Amino acid sequence: MKVIIIGGVAGGASCAARLRRLDENAEIVMAERGPYVSYANCGLPYHVGGVIPDESELLVATADTFRHQFAIDARTRCEAVAIAPDRKTVDLKDLETGEVTTESYDKLVLSPGAPPIRPPLPGIDLPGIYSVRTVPDAREIRQWLEKGTPFLAGMNRYSGIQAVRPKTRAVVVGGGFIGLEMAENLAHRGFEVTLLEQGDQILGPLDQEMARVVEGYLEQHGVNVVLKDGAAEFRQSPPGALEVHAQSGAMHPADIVVLGIGVRPDTALAKQAGLEIGALGGIRTDEQMRTSEPDIFAVGDAVEVRDFVTGEWSLVALAGPANRQGRIAADVIAGRDSRFRGTQGTAIIGLFDGTAAWTGASEKTLKRIGDEDHEKIYIFPNSHAGYYPGAKPIAMKVLFRKSDGRLLGAQALGEDGVDKRISALAGLVQMGATVYDLEESELCYAPQFGSAKDPVNFAGMVAADVLRGDMPISHWHQIGEGFVLDVREPFELAVENVEGTINIPLGQLRDRLDELPRDRTIYVFCRSGQRSYYATRLLLQNGFEVKNMSGGVLSRTYASFFLRE
Ligand SMILES: Cc1cc2nc3c(=O)[nH]c(=O)nc-3n(C[C@H](O)[C@H](O)[C@H](O)COP(=O)(O)OP(=O)(O)OC[C@H]3O[C@@H](n4cnc5c(N)ncnc54)[C@H](O)[C@@H]3O)c2cc1C
């Protein structure tokens, strides 16, 4: 059996290596257009920032490794230029010599990825404007940064030697992963960074109130975040320096511009071969990664797959799904019955000392698809036991189905322990777990790592309390004309008072029940929702109609987004 794999990075390389492990006799050709196979594109921003100083660290495996360890004919600088599905051939072009050879295949795997979007804006090809996808891209950026801006140089007054002004100003266009990682790394290198985002939030998969917190965090770390204003034009002024003219008319000077506007599935070959392309612009595949041509498979950023939670078609440009899909395609080619379960878009980003991560459906996605059978909670547990030094709060939003408690999605922000909570929740989402399963999950605990009630358990307990009717909840934007009871201590009001509310500290509540109305709903809150939960239980058992404000005062800033909605 002869298998040709097009694209030699995440999806392609994992497919090739897996196939060799399953079939020692297959003839495997892996064609990669670029100079490297199997490189760590996820590490590129950190190489630019100097965290990964040595470029060679990014090269996870070389073409030689594939040839010698796996007997895979790995060809770099080799581009697939045409596919003939009827004859089962691929035309491969040697980019060094220009020679094109036609190779036959029994099975073909496409893993061409998704190149960065470069909109045809005036001046977009000026020197100093970069996208980040490949090792050579990162190398060029580093060289540009290290070169200084010679054209701006003046003669030193005393020495007469021409001085080179260091580059200090960066504009990053686009507030997705790659844009934000580049913004952070440029800030690490001492740049003044402006982030231009055309949409009304950064990190599109997050719900907007959560993204607001990340935007604030970036601002605290010196990144100038500009929303609802995209780049309209780039100009050189003077040579070597750039001006980014935004749609609003604002001008942002820059010594370097990085484009992180998003990626688009590379479907050129697939279209030429007549493969089915989905409505989102990716190559349509079934759960075994087969395209509309049964002997052609496609994996990675170029494909459309089903969203595990919503069942909708989705495009997800992430390394985990690409690697798993490559492995599944290899399994199926080798005769195994493997299937891709769909993607949940589980993702994480580190920014300065903070982390944002998420999995599954967001609230805005559920609203967009018209799903009304869901509820959300906000909780703010500590990353580990509060008495052990270094505990940091985690802001968590958890979404679940009202009717049966199924976990639908989660988002978390914090400076410690965010990754493991979202990873645990991601596994649970994929297993179809309910909030009752979260309550019962047995997770590692010692005081430096977590709590006896881990944030994952805690999320389950709070959500299950809601579903069992033990703790009716509400959210700040839903209060309307209700009676709002604050059960915090008076000294806390000095820090943040909530206008129009009545304060009865929790410890006094039992003795002051006669001050509360019995003819309307009491919305009760504290700082995080914990004491107000105790108050809710107390009031419910005394016959009041009561709702706990999920997340308390801490979630109120988040709610300001919904209040504007
Ligand atoms: C800067 C950056 C940071 C990232 N960080 C993260 C992260 O932290 N976490 C995460 O999950 N994901 C991250 N990603 C995304 C992740 O790298 C991709 O999801 C993953 O690499 C996709 O794998 P793929 O095989 O589909 O495509 P790629 O890895 O892009 O590989 C496709 C390859 O196919 C080659 N090719 C295309 N057409 C042809 C042709 N006709 N002939 C021959 N070769 C061809 C291309 O040259 C390319 O090398 C990051 C991506 C970038 C660029």
Confidence of residue 303 (pLDDT cuts 50, 70, 90): very high
Whether the CB-CB separation of 8 and 74 falls below 8 Å is answered with yes
Decide if 121 is inside a domain.
no
Decide if 340 is inside a domain.
no
Query: What does DSSP assign to residue 133?
Result: -
Range 404-440 burial, b when 16+ CB lie within 10 A, else e: ebbbbbbbbbbebbbebbbebbbebbbeebbbbbbbe
Q: Is 60 in the pocket of ligand 1 (CB under 6 A)?
A: no
* 489 and 515, same domain (yes or no): yes
The residue whose CB lies within 8 Å of the most ligand 1 atoms, and thus the one to mutate among 14, 33, 289, is 33
Decide if 25 is inside a domain.
yes
pLDDT of residue 5: 98
Q: Distance (Å, rounded) from C-alpha 160 to C-alpha 173? A: 38
* 199 and 140, same domain (yes or no): yes
- Number of domains the chain is built from: 4
Q: Is 11 in the pocket of ligand 1 (CB under 6 A)?
A: yes
* 366 and 464, same domain (yes or no): yes
* 171 and 68, same domain (yes or no): no
Decide if 42 is inside a domain.
yes
pLDDT digits (tens, 9 = 90+) for 210-243: 999 999 999 999 999 999 999 999 999 877 799 9
Decide if 41 is inside a domain.
yes
Of 468, 490, 510, the residue at which a domain comes to its end is 468
Query: Which of these is catalytic: 15, 78, 444, 526?
Result: 526
Phi, psi of 505 (to 5 degrees): -55, 145
What rounded mean pLDDT belongs to the chain? Answer: 94
DSSP letter string, 300-318: GGGEEEEBTTT--EE----
Is the pLDDT at 560 greater than 60, yes or no? no
* 33 and 106, same domain (yes or no): yes
% residues pLDDT > 90 (the chain): 91
511: left (phi over 0), alpha (psi -120 to 50) or beta: alpha
Q: Is 269 in the pocket of ligand 1 (CB under 6 A)?
A: yes
- For the question of residue 78 being annotated catalytic, the response is no
Give the distance, in angstroms, between the CA of residue 398 and the centroid of all CA atoms in the same chain.
Answer: 16
Provide the residue range defining the domain that includes 438: 353-468
Of 221, 242, 259, the residue at which a domain comes to its end is 259
502-503 and 483-486: which strand pairing?
parallel
Least confident of 162-171, 327-336, 387-396: 162-171
Decide if 124 is inside a domain.
no
Q: Distance (Å, rounded) from C-alpha 166 to C-alpha 172? A: 18
pLDDT of residue 556: 83
* 418 and 488, same domain (yes or no): no
* 141 and 227, same domain (yes or no): yes
Residue 502: CATH number of its domain: 3.40.250.10
* 64 and 109, same domain (yes or no): yes
Decide if 80 is inside a domain.
yes
pLDDT digits (tens, 9 = 90+) for 125-158: 999 999 999 999 999 999 999 886 544 445 555 5
Residue 412: CATH number of its domain: 3.50.50.60
Instruction: Give first-to-last CA distance, the chain, whole Å.
Output: 58
**Structure tokens given for 281:** 């612009």
CA of 131 to the centre of ligand 1 (A): 13
Of all protein residues, whose CA lies closest to atom 4 belonging to ligand 1? 42
pLDDT of residue 152: 44
pLDDT of residue 161: 57
Decide if 10 is inside a domain.
yes
pLDDT digits (tens, 9 = 90+) for 485-495: 999 999 999 98
DSSP letter string, 36-83: -SSB-GGGHHHHHHTSS--GGGGBSS-HHHHHHHH--EEESSEEEEEE
Q: Distance (Å, rounded) from C-alpha 522 to C-alpha 501? A: 11
* 279 and 391, same domain (yes or no): no
Is the pLDDT at 454 greater than 70, yes or no? yes
Helix (H, G, I), strand (E, B) or coil at 515: helix
**Structure tokens given for 364:** 């805005």
Q: Smallest Cα–Cα separation from 556: which of 522, 521, 516, 529?
A: 529
The ligand 1 atom at the shortest distance from the C-alpha of residue 78 is 43
Of 300, 333, 366, the residue at which a domain comes to its end is 333
pLDDT of residue 146: 87
pLDDT digits (tens, 9 = 90+) for 363-405: 999 999 999 999 999 999 999 999 999 999 999 999 999 999 9
Is the pLDDT at 48 greater than 70, yes or no? yes
Whether the CB-CB separation of 395 and 380 falls below 8 Å is answered with yes
Neighbours of 123 (CB within 10 A): 17
Give the pTM: 0.94
Whether the CB-CB separation of 172 and 258 falls below 8 Å is answered with yes
